[in-house]
Amino acid sequence: MIRSALMNVMTAAALKAGKGLKRDFGEVENLQVSMKGPGDFVSAADRKAEKVVFEELSRARPGYGFVMEESGVVEGTDKSHRWHLDPLDGTTNFLHAIPIFAVSIGLERDGQLVAGVVYNPATDDMYVAERGQGAWNNNRRLRVSQRRDMAMSLIGCGVPHLGKAASHPRFKAELAAVMARAQNVRRLGAAALDLAYVAAGRFDAWWERGLNSWDYAAGALLVREAGGFVSDADGDGDFMTSGALCAGNEWIHKELLAILKSAR
């Protein structure tokens, strides 16, 4: 485990929000749900969890800025530090009573990801990483998989929802190209946990486009600290701004990038 003041602050905030999410998950049929757009929902649980994390982190680290899914950007007086917060990654799963969702908190310092926490309250899995300190799931150190053969590899992905119809054709082309080469493909429905699964060596690689920094800031650090690679899905570019990501172990990450390129 990582024993640092920063990790204590981050995990405490995730646990506190997670407690509320666990309660709401048990009564999901009574939750207030609204639509942000076609196929894109937000619930009272998302908003409550965001408030809890925002308050906890603001109290422990006054002045840090925020990029949050539900409340947007809050500029801090400390221009070096910025939180990227998704209070409930996997809202669709949550609303369908599927226990694959997480609180995701990433910290950026002077443009570098330095700490990340991804917490799934339904399974009580806490994934943490701090720059130079490795990545952990509860008390277990994480390492990316060592697989080198794409035909033996399990690849995670994100499927664009109804409101992202413009990106459906590209996704279908990429999926077809990956299906022709990989052992098989999975779709969890929570990008932060997809990245945690890459860090844990469960997925050999994963890709998704159209994400926001709160979806992946924490997870990207988990992968890197577990010895893996994270890049823009098109190879060059900066994923923190493009929102198109490809992550995996050294070999399968490289090969997945080439497959995605071949699908263009």
Picking from 84, 89, 104, the residue whose alpha carbon sits closest to that of residue 43 is 89
Tokens at 152, concatenated: 């033996």
Instruction: Find the binding residues for ligand IPD in span 55-74 (CB under 6 A).
Output: 69
> Strands 112-120, 102-109: parallel, antiparallel or unpaired by DSSP?
antiparallel
Q: How many helices (H) and strands (E) does the chain have?
A: 8, 15
Q: How far is the CB of 89 from Ca ion (least distance, A)?
A: 4
28: left (phi over 0), alpha (psi -120 to 50) or beta: alpha
- Cα 47 from chain centroid? 18
Residue matched to tokens 């664009």: 160
- Quick one: which of 50, 215, 232, 255 contacts Ca ion (CB under 5 A)? 215
Q: In this complex, which beta carbon is closest to ligand IPD, that of residue 203 or of residue 251?
A: 203
Beta carbons of 118 and 225 less than 8 angstroms apart: no
- Asked whether position 24 contacts Ca ion by CB under 5 A, the answer is no
**Site map for Ca ion, 164-203, x if CB under 5 A?**
----------------------------------------
Q: How far is the CB of 7 from Ca ion (least distance, A)?
A: 22
Would you tell me how many other CB atoms lie within 10 Å of the CB of residue 137?
17
Spatial neighbors of 245 by CB under 8 A, at least 6 apart, are 206, 207, 208, 209, 211, 216, 220, 230, 231, 232, 233, 239
Q: In this complex, which beta carbon is closest to Ca ion, that of residue 70 or of residue 255?
A: 70
- Asked whether position 69 contacts Ca ion by CB under 5 A, the answer is yes
Q: In this complex, which beta carbon is closest to Ca ion, that of residue 86 or of residue 208?
A: 86
- Quick one: which of 86, 108, 130, 208 contacts Ca ion (CB under 5 A)? 86
- Asked whether position 190 contacts ligand IPD by CB under 6 A, the answer is yes
- Asked whether position 89 contacts ligand IPD by CB under 6 A, the answer is yes
- Quick one: which of 189, 219, 228, 248 contacts ligand IPD (CB under 6 A)? 189
Partner from Ca ion, ligand IPD, none contacting 158, C-beta within 5 to 8 A by type? ligand IPD
Q: Which residues in this chain contact ligand IPD in the complex, by CB under 6 A?
A: 69, 86, 89-92, 158, 189-191, 208, 210-211, 215
